[in-house]
Each structure stands twice: as C-alpha cells, then as structure tokens.
Amino acid sequence: MYNGIYQITLVFNAGRDKLNKNTRCYMSKCLLIVDVQLGFINASTDHIPALVEALQKKYNYIFVTRFYNKENSLYRKLIKWNRFDKGSDDFKLAFKPASNAVIIDKNIYSCVDASFIKNLNENKIGIVDLCGIDTDICVTKCAVDLFESGITPRVLGNYCGSHAGHESHTHALGVLKRFIGRSQVIE
C-alpha cells in the first residue's frame, strides 16, 4: 500500500531480465508512463497515446499512472478543477497498456514514494525513462522525485506533451534540464 493511496505489484517479465543480483542496472529497462488519459487528450497531446503504446515494447518494467481527483481535494477547492472522477471518461487510459504493465492509480501529482523506490531498488533499476502528460506538471514532478530519491530519471521529450499547449511542454523541458540535468532530457 502506498500511503493509503494505491497498491501495486511489480510484474517481473521472466526471460527478458538478465540482471546480476548484486549489480544495479544503469541501462534503462523501466518505463514510467504518466497520465496518458482521455481527459488530457486534445490537439496538443493527441499524438502521445500511439507513441507510448508502441514505446512499451522496448521495456521490461512498465508503470502506468492514472490520476483521479478525489472528493474534497485541493484540486477542487483551490484550483476549482472538478474533472477526473474515478470511473469517468476523463479517468480512462487513452492507450492500451502492455500486458506486463503495472497500473498505478494516484490522487496526487507523483507516484514516486518510498514504496515505489523500494520496488525499483529491489529490482536493481537505477534509471527510469519517463513519458506522458503533462510535461509541465506530473511528468516534471515524477522526474524530480526520482532524482531526489537517487534514481536517474530520463525524460523522453518527444513522448511527452502538455494539454495546456506546446509552449507549456517546451518550457517544462527547459526547466527539467536545469532540475535534473541536460543529458536526462532526451529530445
């Protein structure tokens, strides 16, 4: 259980993983797909679902997040944002996750917490590639949380977008280069 918010089980893709038990892998085998949901799809992000669906084939470990907006949240109170109820069309994924993907439902910006990091460490994952929506909010938050937890994040800029528009996406990539390092933002 992650802070009472969600529960995941790490799916091990037997046969494709050849990690030495004592060596942390610094070649990314892990993909974190952030919030590619119907409610975030518009003209600025409609290219993302097909890209991330195809990208999954390159990874042994895949995590997919879905944001939901719980009742009485600060999103509702402070931002006046009332979409993304669990079970609504907004909440549904906009692509088909791989069969070995772990789906993480979250009601906060990031899925990265102590339990998530523990799972990565137990599986000798030292690098996580990130993609998804919104580059300027949840993708950035997840990348920075990984960075601050000692896991190297690599943001795949061409597999990210912002439903607020291309300018928000581009600005976020620039900020991320300062936050986590220029070489961790791959465009």
Query: CATH number for the domain including 49?
Result: 3.40.50.850
Distance CA 10, CA 25 (A): 16
Instruction: Bin 60: left if φ > 0, else alpha if -120 < ψ < 50, else beta.
Output: alpha
Q: Which domain holds residue 35?
A: 30-186
Q: Is residue 16 assigned to a domain?
A: no
Q: Is residue 60 assigned to a domain?
A: yes
Q: Is residue 106 assigned to a domain?
A: yes
Q: Is residue 47 assigned to a domain?
A: yes
Predicted pLDDT of residue 3: 37
* Helix or strand holding residue 52 (H, E): helix 48-55
Mean pLDDT, each 10-residue run in order, the chain (187 residues): 36 36 55 98 98 96 97 95 94 97 97 95 94 97 98 97 96 97 96
Q: Is residue 17 assigned to a domain?
A: no
Q: Is residue 23 assigned to a domain?
A: no
Contact of 111 with 79, CB cutoff 8 Å: no
Q: Is residue 8 assigned to a domain?
A: no
Instruction: Bin 68: left if φ > 0, else alpha if -120 < ψ < 50, else beta.
Output: beta
Predicted pLDDT of residue 8: 39
State the total domains in the chain: 1
Distance CA 163, CA 133 (A): 7
